[in-house]
C-alpha cells in the first residue's frame, strides 16, 4: 500500500510540477560515463552560449567564458560568458531605462505576454526537462515536474497582474478623499540557485514582470544553461528588450557581480534564494541604499510523528518530504521526531519503504529516482552539513561543522574549521571547511550512493564528505545505521539513502541541515518535548507533523516556529500558497496572491478641496 501511494504521489508531482528537488551534480566513474548521452540530445536546440541583455545575446566585455558540465558524466555541455561587475552595471542601466516604458504598459498587456511565455514552456517541456537533467543531475521525472511547476508560476502571475487592486479609504474630512494605489518598485536584481533553475526564475521574475518591474538575474554558475533556455522562450514570447536580462559568471566573478546587483543605486529590489549566510551578506550590501528585499534562505525542517498518527501515512509523507532530489531541498525533512509509542514501527516501515522505492542511478534513466549529488564535495559533506551548500567540490572536502551558509569560493573554505553562519568570500576559504550543514552537494559523486533519484546529486565531493561526517558523528555517539550510510557502489557523488536510529539532539545531523539523503530519527515522550526540539533551530522555513488528535493538531500547528506547516502532509509547495520562512530562513514570501506585492510599492494619494 505504501509503495502504491509513493508511486501515485510521484506521478502526481510529475503531472502538476509540484516537486521540490535539488540538483544532481556529481561525476560518475569512467565505466559509467556517457550514459547520459545515449539518448538523442534533443535539448541541443535550447543551448545558448551567450548571456541575454537588452534583448540581445551578448558576450562578456572581457571575452572570457567558463564551462558547464554534466554532473553525471563530467562531459562539457557548453560555455557561457564569464561576466564581471562592469557587465552587470551595464545590464542594470539597460533594465532601468526599459523600466520607464514597461511600467506604463497595462496589466492586461503584461498578462498576455506572461501567458505566452507559459505556453511556450509547456510546448517545450520534455526538451527542457532533458536539459535540466543533464545540467544538474536530477531524475528526468523530477525535471519534468520542475518544468511544469515553473510554468504554472507564469500562468498564475499572468492572472495576478490584473488583480493588484488599490483601496479607497473614508477620510476624516468632508473635503478630502483618500486613495491607495500599488506601483512597481523598479529594477529588481535576482540571484537564483542551482537546485531549481527553472522554477526559481519564474517564481521571482514572473511576479516582478507582472507587477511592472524590470529584471536583472544572475543564475547559479552550476546551471546557467537551463536559465538561458527558459529566458530564450521569454524572448520568443515577446517580452520587450531590456525588460528581462540575464548575466552569467563563474565563481571567480560571483562576488563582484553579486555585490553590484545589491549596491547599484538604480536597483530597487533584491530577491535571493540560497543559504542564510549568503543572504546576510546580500542584505548588508543592500542596506546602504535601503533596498527592498526578499530572501528565501536555509531550512532545517522538523518532521514529527505523534502516537495518534497513521504510521503508514507518516512513512509516505516522510518518503516524499525527505528523498525528493536526494534531500537537497530547503524544505525537505531534516530531523525526524517520533513519539515512543510508534517509534519502532515507524523506523521499521520507513526502512522497508526506502528499500522498496528508492533506486539510484543516472537521471536520464526513467527507472531511477535519485541520481548523484551535485558534485563530490557535496557527498563529503552529507556527514555534517547544516544549511548552505559549498560553492564547489573543494569547499566541501574539508567541511566539518558549517551550519548555515556556503562559502563564496574555494579559497574561503580552505582555512575554515567550523564556520556556522557566514559564507567565506572566496574558494580558498572553502577548501578547508569541515562540516557543511544546509546547502546541496555540488557534484555527481555526491549522489552516486543514492537509491532513488528523486532529489538530485550533491553539489560536489565536499558535500559528500559532509554527509559522511554527519553519519560518522552520529554513529560515534550511539546511533545505529539501519540502511545506507556510505557512498554508493556507482561511485562519484552518488550516496546511499541512509536511515539512522537511536539519534539524539547532541548529534550534528540534528543540529545542521544535511542537504543529502540522510534521515535521522529521534525518540520523544511528550508533545511539549517535541515542540521544543522542533523550535530549537535558528531557522524556520518548513515543518511537518502527523497526528489524528484535532486539539493537538491546532496546538502544534500554531506553535511551530516556521513559515509553512504540513499537517499529515509531506509536500506543501504549490503556486497558490505563500512560500517563505521566519527567523533566519528569510524575509518575504513568493508565489500566491502575496508574491506580486513583494514588487509593488504602496502609494497613498490625498485629494483635497473636493
What pLDDT score does 325 carry? 87
- Respond yes or no: is residue 146 known to be catalytic: no
Pair 467, 386: CB distance under 8 Å? no
- CB atoms near residue 588 (< 10 Å): 18
CA distances (Å), origin 261, targets 45, 200, 324, 529: 30, 17, 32, 44
DSSP 216: E
Give the 3-state secondary structure of residue 203.
helix
Q: How many Å apart are CA 266 and CA 212, to the nearest integer?
A: 16
- Respond yes or no: is residue 296 known to be catalytic: yes
Does 21 have pLDDT greater than 60? no
Does 27 have pLDDT greater than 50? no
**200 or 414, which is more confident:** 200
Residue-wise pLDDT tens digits, 598-608: 999 999 999 99
Region 560-566: what's the mean pLDDT?
Answer: 98
Candidates 376, 389, 413; CA nearest to 137 is 376
Q: How many Å apart are CA 272 and CA 263, to the nearest integer?
A: 14
Residue at grid coordinates 554532473: 71
Longest dimension (CA), the chain: 82
Cα 178 to chain centroid distance, Å, stands at 41
List, in sequence order, the alpha helices (H) in 358-401.
393-397
Give the 3-state secondary structure of residue 487.
strand
The predicted model scores a pTM of 0.82
Q: How many Å apart are CA 41 and CA 604, to the nearest integer?
A: 54
Does 272 have pLDDT greater than 60? yes
Q: Indicate left, alpha or beta for 325 from its phi (over 0: left) and psi (-120 to 50: alpha).
A: left
The cell for 569 is 502532509
pLDDT band at 11 (very low <50, low <70, confident <90, very high): very low
What pLDDT score does 181 carry? 98
Mean pLDDT (the chain, rounded): 83
Region 59-78: what's the mean pLDDT?
Answer: 93
Pair 579, 573: CB distance under 8 Å? yes
Pair 160, 210: CB distance under 8 Å? yes
Contacts of 180 (CB under 8 A, 6+ apart): 166, 167, 168, 169, 602, 603, 604, 605
**372 or 160, which is more confident:** 160
246-274 b/e (C-beta count within 10 Å ≥ 16 → b): bbbbbbbbbbbbbbbbbbbebbbbbbbbb
Residue-wise pLDDT tens digits, 475-494: 999 999 999 999 888 877 78
Single out the catalytic residue among 249, 262, 330, 509: 330
What pLDDT score does 359 carry? 86
What pLDDT score does 385 carry? 36
What pLDDT score does 417 carry? 34
What are the backbone angles phi and psi of residue 444, rounded to the nearest 5°? Answer: -65, -35
Single out the catalytic residue among 296, 380, 431, 465: 296
What pLDDT score does 379 carry? 60
Residue-wise pLDDT tens digits, 92-150: 999 999 999 999 999 999 999 999 999 999 999 999 999 999 998 888 999 999 999 99
What pLDDT score does 220 carry? 96
The cell for 562 is 516556521
Amino acid at each position: 500500500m505504501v509503495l502504491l501511494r509513493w508511486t501515485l504521489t510521484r506521478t502526481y508531482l510529475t503531472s502538476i510540477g509540484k516537486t521540490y528537488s535539488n540538483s544532481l551534480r556529481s561525476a560518475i566513474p569512467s565505466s559509467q560515463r556517457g550514459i547520459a548521452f545515449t539518448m538523442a540530445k534533443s535539448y541541443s536546440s535550447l543551448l545558448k552560449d551567450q548571456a541575454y541583455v537588452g534583448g540581445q545575446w551578448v558576450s562578456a566585455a572581457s571575452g572570457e567564458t567558463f564551462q558547464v558540465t554534466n554532473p553525471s558524466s563530467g562531459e562539457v555541455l557548453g560555455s557561457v560568458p564569464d561576466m564581471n561587475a562592469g557587465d552587470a552595471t551595464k545590464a542594470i542601466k539597460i533594465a532601468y531605462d526599459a523600466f520607464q516604458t514597461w511600467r506604463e504598459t497595462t496589466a492586461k498587456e503584461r498578462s498576455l505576454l506572461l501567458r505566452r511565455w507559459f505556453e511556450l514552456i509547456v510546448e517545450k517541456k520534455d526538451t527542457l526537462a532533458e536539459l535540466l537533467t543533464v545540467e544538474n543531475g536530477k531524475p528526468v521525472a523530477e525535471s519534468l515536474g520542475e518544468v511544469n511547476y515553473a510554468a504554472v508560476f507564469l500562468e498564475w502571475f499572468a492572472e495576478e497582474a490584473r488583480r493588484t487592486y488599490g483601496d479607497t479609504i473614508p477620510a476624516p474630512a468632508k473635503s478630502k478623499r483618500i486613495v491607495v494605489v500599488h506601483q512597481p518598485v523598479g529594477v529588481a536584481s535576482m540571484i537564483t540557485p542551482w537546485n531549481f533553475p527553472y522554477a526559481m526564475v519564474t517564481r521571482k521574475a514572473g511576479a516582478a514582470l507582472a507587477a511592472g518591474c524590470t529584471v536583472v538575474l544572475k543564475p547559479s554558475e552550476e546551471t546557467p544553461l537551463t536559465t538561458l533556455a527558459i529566458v530564450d522562450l521569454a524572448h520568443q514570447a515577446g517580452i520587450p528588450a531590456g525588460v528581462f536580462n540575464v548575466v552569467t559568471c563563474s565563481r571567480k566573478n560571483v562576488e563582484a557581480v553579486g555585490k553590484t546587483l545589491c549596491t547599484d543605486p538604480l536597483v530597487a529590489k533584491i530577491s535571493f534564494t540560497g543559504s542564510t549566510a549568503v543572504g546576510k551578506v546580500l542584505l548588508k550590501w543592500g542596506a546602504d541604499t535601503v533596498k527592498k528585499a526578499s530572501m528565501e534562505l536555509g531550512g532545517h525542517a522538523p518532521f514529527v510523528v505523534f502516537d495518534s498518527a497513521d504510521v503508514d501515512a507518516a512513512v509516505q509523507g516522510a518518503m516524499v518530504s525527505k528523498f525528493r532530489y536526494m534531500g537537497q531541498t530547503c524544505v525537505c525533512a531534516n530531523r525526524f521526531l517520533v513519539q515512543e509509542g510508534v517509534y519502532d514501527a515507524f523506523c521499521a516501515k520507513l526502512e522497508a519503504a526506502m528499500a522498496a522505492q528508492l533506486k539510484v542511478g543516472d537521471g536520464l534513466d526513467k527507472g531511477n529516482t535519485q541520481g548523484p549529488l551535485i558534485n563530490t564535495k557535496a557527498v563529503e559533506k552529507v556527514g555534517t552539513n547544516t544549511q548552505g551548500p559549498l560553492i564547489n567540490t573543494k569547499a566541501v572536502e574539508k567541511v566539518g561543522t558549517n551550519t548555515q551558509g556556503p562559502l563564496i569560493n574555494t579559497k574561503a573554505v580552505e582555512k575554515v574549521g567550523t564556520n556556522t553562519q557566514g559564507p567565506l568570500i572566496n574558494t580558498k576559504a572553502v577548501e578547508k571547511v569541515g562540516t557543511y550543514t544546509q546547502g546541496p552537494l555540488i557534484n555527481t559523486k555526491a549522489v552516486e550512493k543514492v537509491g532513488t533519484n528523486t532529489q538530485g546529486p550533491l553539489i560536489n565531493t565536499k558535500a559528500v564528505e559532509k554527509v559522511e561526517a554527519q553519519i560518522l558523528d552520529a554513529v560515534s555517539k550511539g546511533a545505529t545505521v539501519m540502511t545506507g550510510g556510505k557512498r554508493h557502489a556507482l561511485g562519484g557523488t552518488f550516496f546511499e539513502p541512509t536511515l539512522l536510529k537511536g539519534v539524539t539532539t547532541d548529534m550534528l545531523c540534528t543540529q545542521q541541515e544535511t542537504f543529502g539523503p540522510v534521515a535521522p530519527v529521534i525518540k520523544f515522550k511528550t508533545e511539549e518535548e517535541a515542540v521544543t526540539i522542533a523550535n530549537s533551530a535558528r531557522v524556520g522555513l518548513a515543518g511537518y507533523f502527523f497526528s489524528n488528535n484535532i486539539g493537538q493538531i491546532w496546538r502544534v500547528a500554531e506553535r511551530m516556529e516556521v513559515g509553512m506547516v504540513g499537517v499529515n502532509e509531506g509536500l506543501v509547495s504549490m503556486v497558490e500558497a505563500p512560500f517563505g520562512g521566519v527567523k533566519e530562513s528569510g524575509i518575504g514570501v513568493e508565489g500566491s496572491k502575496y508574491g506580486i506585492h513583494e514588487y509593488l510599492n504602496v502609494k497613498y494619494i490625498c485629494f483635497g478641496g473636493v
